[in-house]
Structure 1
Amino acid sequence: MSLFWRVFLINAAVLTAATALVLLGPVSVSTRFVLTEALILGGGLVAMLVANALLLRVGLAPLQRLTRAMGTIDLLKPGPRPTVAGHAGIADLIATFNAMLDRLESERATSNARALSAQEDERRRIAQELHDEVGQTLTAVLLELRRVSDHAPPQLRDDLRQVREITRESLDEIRRIARRLRPGVLEELGLLAALRSLFGEVSHHNGLTLRRDLATDLPALDDAAELVIYRVAQEGLTNVARHAGASRVDFSLQPVGGGVQLRIRDNGRGTGDAPEGAGIRGMRERALLVGARLSVGPADGGGTLVQLDVPGRPGRAA
């Protein structure tokens, strides 16, 4: 039965019952009604309207819940589905909406997986080119500068030494960029070693104290989960160093409930009412790929707390 016929029959039942009461009840209406009869009919009309409103409110309550869910749903923040309730077309509508959400989340996850995979491949390619071409070219420039400096007049050696230092710093920066683009240590030595290398880069940020708590008994994680943890840690620490205005950041990676929990907490200015940027949305998309749950919000006592809960999966240990 469609929603229209359901509402129509409810109203028809109320009006029919009211008509029967008027016809069969002890009260009657004269040709020229008196005040008492008008009050009786008015009371009956009010009773019908109240009964009709109550029945419609109960019958359409599932639609109101569905409307609220449709207004607040976010595919990057999966939550519980609206409960399939109600009769006839209402229950079918809610079930169809839930099926649509499942399909959209599945399609988004597949699309994000392809996009992020292509992104990682592009990062590897750029890192390889930086290392093999730009890095080797700068190394050759350093060697040539050293050779020229050894044969240069004394008045030019200081200038050449300064140029060598600038070139060496540029080479170090190129190597740091290549490591951030392609964490080779993650593939070769595992998650914990990659995080320690990341901490070394963050420690160069002036005025930022890093407190870390890394468990050594992490459960087995597959390569995708380790990459997600590393990228979320990288993005979270980069945001703290560049935007938070913090003096301290606490980093924790612990086993929780068969999985792994990552927590990055700083004492900076917090996120406030600012909308989420591309970095945080990228972290959410990565988390969804491995069934993880990411939360970003204010920390107790001020600052920001980034928490990533990754379920345990079979694979090699960290």
Structure 2
Amino acid sequence: MKNSELYTIIISGIIFFVILSVGVIQFTLLFYRQRSLRKKEEEKFQQEILRAQLEIQEQTLKNVSAEIHDNIGQTLSLVKLNLATADAAPADQLQGKIQDSYELVSKAIRDLRNLSKSLNTDYIAEKGLLQLIEHELNMIARTGAMQTEMTIKGEPAKLDPRQELILFRIIQESINNCIKHAQAERLEAIVDFSESGVIIQIRDNGKGFDTQQSAAEGAGIGLKSLQNRAAMIGASCEINSVLSKGTEVTILLPPEKMNGV
């Protein structure tokens, strides 16, 4: 073998080794970069989960406060009134007042038990998304602020608890926006389990708003927050509103993302 041929083979080997080394280094760097990105995304998701949990607890405390003031407080006031007038009541009415007081106290005890359960985060997780939505609507209906209705379509599917938590917080925030701004008489939640995934709609018949104008004035930040939260679990969130006709929030969790965050 000639020296020139030997040199060519050696140089080619060196070049091949260098190219291979560079490729391995690039692959290794890419691997660690992707792993770092996944770790950051997971940390971001866990922070969002924690934030949603804290916000749900904060809203729960507000609901509990309102329930104690508006419902349990009123019930116990009726008991107090019954007892205060019992001495002066005719004999034929006394037994009725005692029975009424007994039923009112029993109701107050049941309500307090329900409230204590609602403060338990494990209980909230066990209830599941559908019961959480129904409970939220029932709380609103009991205040008399507006009529509420819940409709479930299709065969309910159990989702990842973290997905349910984020979905419920989006729904809860949408409902709160309705209570604060819509001046609606009716609020409806529709949960549709279909081949397209899980479709959740929150509708009201309130005053509505101009979505383009709201975005121009910076009010779109709230919508962006809802969309960002939905994106964390692979879902989408859209708001459609018409002046004097109402607002509809639509959340879609596609089938390929169900139970897989």
Normalising by the smaller structure, the TM-score range is 0.5 to 0.7
Q: Equivalent pairs: percent with the same residue? A: 22
Does residue 311 of the first structure (1) align with residue 254 of the second (2)? yes
Match of 2:13 in 1: none
Describe the shift of the 1:303–1:215 C-alpha distance in structure 2 as closer, same or farther (beyond 3 A): same
Matches within 5 A, 1:228-239: 228-239=166-177
Q: Which one has a bigger Cα radius of gyration?
A: 1
- Please give the residue correspondences for 1:1-318 in structure 2 after superposition, counting only pairs within 5 Å: 106=41, 109=45, 111-116=47-52, 186-206=124-144, 208-215=146-153, 217-272=155-210, 273-274=213-214, 275-276=218-219, 280-299=223-242, 302-312=245-255, 313-314=258-259
The alpha-carbon distance between structure 1 residues 314 and 299, as it changes in their structure 2 partners (threshold 3 A), is same
CA distance in 1, matches of 2:120, 2:226: 17
In structure 2, the CA distance between the partners of 1:297 and 1:233, relative to structure 1 (3 Å rule), is: same
Distance 2:169 2:121 in 1: 10
Aligned-pair CA distance for 1:217: 0.8
Q: Once the two structures are superposed, what CA deviation does each residue of 1:19-46 show, in whole Å capped at 9, x if it has no partner?
A: xxxxxxxxxxxxxxxxxxxxxxxxxxxx
1:30 counterpart residue number: none
Taking a change above 3 Å as real, the CA distance of residues 199 and 287 of structure 1, as seen in their structure-2 partners, is same
Deviations 1:194-238 (Å, cap 9, x if unpaired)? Answer: 222222112134362323311361233111122223222222222
Assess if the C-alpha contact under 8 Å between 2:202 and 2:248 holds in 1.
Answer: yes
Match of 1:59 in 2: none
Gaps of 5+ in 2: 1-33, 66-72, 90-100
Q: CA deviation at 1:171?
A: 9.8
Do the aligned partners of residues 200 and 117 (structure 1) sit closer, same or farther apart at CA in structure 2, a change above 3 Å counting? closer
Q: Distance in 2 between matches of 1:269 and 1:235?
A: 18
Secondary structure in 2 matching 1:270: coil
Q: Deviation digits for residues 220-263 of structure 1, max 9, x if unmatched?
A: 31111222232222222222233101222332100133521100
Deviations 1:139-173, CA, capped at 9 Å, x for gaps: xx99xx89x969x999xxxxxxxxx9xxx9x9999
SS in 2 for 1:242: helix
Cα distance between partner residues in 2 of 1:182 and 1:278: 31
Letter in 1 for 2:241: P
Given that 1:296 and 1:307 are in contact with CA atoms closer than 8 Å, whether structure 2 keeps it comes out as: yes
Deviant stretches of 4+, over 4 Å: 107-111, 117-124, 170-185, 277-282
Please give the alpha-carbon distance, in whole angstroms, between the structure 2 residues aligned to 1:224 and 1:291. 12
- Per-residue deviation, residues 112-137 of structure 1 (Å, max 9, x unmatched): 3454456567789x79x98xxxxxxx
Residue matched to 1:9: none
Q: Determine if contact 1:205/1:241 at 8 Å carries over to the other structure.
A: no
Pairwise CA distance, 1:192: 2.2
**CA 114–245 in structure 1, closer or farther in 2 if over 3 Å, else same:** closer
Contact kept, 8 Å, 1:261 with 1:308, in 2: the verdict is yes
Counterpart CA distance in 2 for 1:266 and 1:122 is 24
* Secondary structure, aligned partner of 2:207: coil
Letter in 2 for 1:263: Q
